[in-house]
Structure 1
Amino acid sequence: MSALLMDTRRQTCLPDSESADVASWLSEGWIADTLELGAAMPYQAGVSATLQYFLTDADGTEYSYYWTIQDGQLGGAGLGEHTSPDVELSVSLDDARSMQTGATDATSAFMEGRLRVDGNLDLLMQLLPITGSSEYQELERELARRTDFDHIGE
């Protein structure tokens, strides 16, 4: 494991007394975990998009990352801004944390005005079968298990 990834991980005691490396949320280690898990998503020809996420905390600090989905699989991800995203999603840091831990549904956050979407909405709608799949739900659970949401970008 690279030194960069080691620097972004913490040893955590899990409830069953096993320890596991977890990555700080919005860190290079978190991106690496995202890519690893996303590559295992089922192939779905023609379902491709780049999603840009903007998260803002209570004091106005903005965090950003992006995902590139190619034929249903996560083909790329990174911290910062992508040069040409298809869809931009903006949400508070607290709501993003709640969605990523499974406490809040993204559709509910959107309907309540807490998640703003700009860009190609038709393309975003094509992704809904992916995000509703059991494989994606498992990816989200495993990524949350591997993430230290109390530490950002460390």
Structure 2
Amino acid sequence: MSGERVAVVSKWLSAEWFDQARGMADDQPSYPGLSARIQYEVTGGPDGDVSYYCILEDGRLQSSAGGRVESPDVTITAPWADSVAMEQGDLDPNVAFMQGRMKVAGSMGVMMALLPAARTPEYKALRRRIAEITEF
């Protein structure tokens, strides 16, 4: 045995996928004071609309799962195809927002505070690693 880990591919937004993605995010740097409860609404998927959430504390992922979070700071809504394109890195979320393809409701202050962390090399590398284990 070579000792090489084989990546398990999971269906996007499945319970298994959330578990894998959370584990992969453990090595992300912290950003003291950057905390948010983010609700995502993905519309028009193959199995209907999907809701999921992420909870960040000091910039680190504390929780994520399918369903709804109580008292979200920000709610992000986008169609399935655009959400997949953003997850795969083929659509810049800023472009999607500017074109009206992604809607943001709630605290724009929280949303703006999240942007610098989302542009770091560490976060971009994490997104690529997660995309590699994702079946869309």
By the TM > 0.5 criterion, same fold?
yes
1:76 aligns with 2:63: yes
Q: Cα deviation per residue 1:84-103 (whole Å; 9 max; x = unaligned)?
A: 11100000000000000000
Q: Cα deviation per residue 1:69-119 (whole Å; 9 max; x = unaligned)?
A: 110111111101111111000000000000000000000000000000000
1:54 aligns with 2:41: yes
- Gaps in structure 2 of 5+ consecutive residues: none
Q: Cα deviation per residue 1:93-151 (whole Å; 9 max; x = unaligned)?
A: 000000000000000000000000000110110011110000110110000001001xx
Give 3-state SS (helix, strand or coil) of 1:56's partner. strand
Letter in 1 for 2:52: Y
Q: How does 1:28-47 map to 2 (within 5 A)?
A: 28-47=15-34
- Gaps in structure 1 of 5+ consecutive residues: 1-17, 150-154
Q: Percent identity?
A: 35
Q: Taking structure 1 as reference, are residues 71 and 57 closer, same or farther at Cα in structure 2, changes over 3 Å only? A: same
Query: Cα distance, 1:60 vs. partner?
Result: 8.8
Stretches (4+) displaced over 3 A: none
Aligned residues: 132
Instruction: Give TM-score scaled by structure 1 length.
Output: 0.81
Q: Give 1:119's aligned residue.
A: 106
- Two-structure CA RMSD over aligned residues (Å): 1.6
Measured in 1, the distance between the counterparts of 2:8 and 2:34 equals 32
